[in-house]
Structure 1
Amino acid sequence: MIRVLNQENTILSRYVAQLRDEVTQRDPMRFRRNLERTGEVMAYEISKTLNYRAETVVTPLGEAEVMVPADEVVIASILRAGVPMHNGFLNVFDDAANAFVSAFRKYSKDGTMKVVLEQVTTPSLEGKVLIVVDPMLATGASIELAYYALIEKGGVPAHTHLASVISSTDGVEYVRKHFPMEHVTLWTAAVDEEMTVKSYIVPGIGDPGDLAYGKKL
């Protein structure tokens, strides 16, 4: 399933507008916070899809029955750009377990690019709900590599949610073709049509890792 959240009116669009704005995004703290807020909104939307169970809570005046999530959630992010969004998800799913994937783009002299995976840390994923966080879904190669590395190490989750702020049309189609869509849902705030030759989304937002944490060597 593919869920594009800006197809409906939502406050999320304001956060995305600020993430895109070349003036507003010059403030790293504001940029990180907008990624975090985007994660919070997406986490709320994903929470509607979980399984729930009844739980009795004792109040000072009696007892109340409430519905609470029955699923165990694991939040996984691709370093480093995924960290602020990851924190937003963790603000909502505050008892979730956490996983991290270290991956980066490596460019050859001829201009071709491949994704290099360095490290994966994860708890058991068997039967759980996995949320993989990466702000930009460009070619789809990074999130595919992260997903299969996570399940190879942690086991097969009951369902996986892929969460990105901006996706390219090519990235969306890549996910549709290379993931088991009966067990995967892609959530994105917006879909952009173009990519540069170096696989940057246009108009996109630029490099979220650099904007959040400063330029790297």
Structure 2
Amino acid sequence: MQGVTVVEHPLVQHKLTLMRQKDRSTKGFRQLLNEIGMLLLYEVTRDLPLEAVEIETPVTRMMAPQLVGKKLVLAPILRAGVGFLDGMLDLVPSARVAHVGLYRDPETLSAVEYYFKAPSDLEDRLVLVLDPMLATANSAVAAVDRLKERGARDLRIVCLLAAPEGIAHFTSVHPEVPIWTASIDERLNEHGYIVPGLGDAGDRMYGTR
């Protein structure tokens, strides 16, 4: 699908298979989500710009590549998106963090905002919107809407699973925002869950129902 990158790295696919298993413990699921988040961040940032700077090694001076510009903003959609955060911050500890609090209305499946906090200079930074499941995409659309209102111009979606219906909805509203995912699954069921999916990521992270 145009604008969608499926990360097919063997480690990503292996960890995703472990996460899909219904008997995976809460601790195990949370740890795997942390690990796979780090691997996804590695892929989604492979085109970050570099500049040559002069450094001194223990042997000699040299020109070496270094990231240029302001650092990333990681924007997890609460609550499940937080599962990606620690692994990604381990990889890029200087990243800023925005929090987008949304929940899905069980009747309408629409996204309802209850919290939003973000850095003041989003227009100068690459913003990665984090949500394990791109199902209906209502939450992702609402999050990107809100971040754009705050000034964000360079955004990317990072998710674990995506449904074709969610991709179609999201790209119809925000066609310029690319998506990175570990898998495009078959479909949504009548309750708006991804099939075959892995259940509710937030519930499986925190042991709730």
What is the TM-score with the length of structure 2 in the denominator?
A: 0.92
Q: Does residue 13 in structure 1 map to residue 2 in structure 2? A: no
In structure 2, C-alpha distance between the alignment counterparts of 1:47 and 1:66, rounded to whole Å: 19
The aligned residue for residue 65 of structure 2 is: 67
The offset of 1:127, in angstroms, is 2.5
**1:118 counterpart letter in structure 2:** Y
How far did 1:59 drift?
2.8
Question: Does the aligned pair in 1 maintain the 2:33–2:83 contact within 8 Å?
Answer: yes
Size of the aligned set, in residue pairs, is: 205
List alignment gaps of at least 5 residues for structure 2. none
Matches within 5 A, 1:115-130: 115-123=111-119, 124-130=121-127
Structure having the larger proportion of residues in strand: 1
- Give the letter aligned to residue 114 of structure 2: E
Structure 1 unaligned residues grouped into runs of 5+: none
1:114 and 2:116 are equivalent in the alignment: no
Q: 1:20 to 1:66 in 2, by over 3 A?
A: same
Identity of aligned residues (%): 30
Deviation at 1:114, TM superposition (A): 1.9
Match among 181, 193, 196 for residue 189 of structure 2: 196
Note the C-alpha offset of 1:215: 0.8
* Helix, strand or coil at the partner of 1:199: coil
Q: Kindly provide the amino acid, as one letter, of the partner of residue 150 in structure 1.
A: L
Question: What letter matches 1:189 in structure 2?
Answer: A
Alpha-carbon shift at residue 31 of structure 1 (Å): 0.7
Q: Matches of 1:29 and 1:55 in 2, distance apart?
A: 42
- TM-score relative to the length of structure 1: 0.89
AA aligned to 2:169 is Y
Distance 1:31 1:66 in 2: 38
